Amino acid sequence: MSYRLLVCTVSLDGKQASGKAFNAALKDKPEVKSRLESEWDAAAKGNYAKAIDRADQAARMRWTPCREYAR
């Protein structure tokens, strides 16, 4: 998975977001909302850390010419 895709990944899809049971749980149960927000926050931070790592790996893999060919 590319680093850009990792950063832009959404933890909730449209089907889940439009579900009546899901929305009712968010409105009526603050502990559920708090737990979900914590899970989403952890997932976002994890994906961001992976994206930084992948970008760093890509930067290290950048091709550089040998001294002999750089003349």
What is the rounded CA–CA span in Å between residue 3 and residue 41?
18
At residue 69, the pLDDT reads: 57
At residue 15, the pLDDT reads: 82
Count CA atoms within 13 Å of residue 69 on its CB side: 4
What is the rounded CA–CA span in Å between residue 65 and residue 1?
28
The pLDDT-based confidence of 23 (bands split at 50, 70, 90) is confident
Tokens of 31: 């502990």
What is the rounded CA–CA span in Å between residue 42 and residue 39?
5
In tens, the pLDDT along 24-47 reads 877 888 888 888 888 888 988 888
What residue ranges do the domains of the chain occupy? 3-70
At residue 25, the pLDDT reads: 78
pTM attached to this predicted model: 0.60
Work out the average pLDDT over 3-24: 75
What is the rounded CA–CA span in Å between residue 40 and residue 42?
5
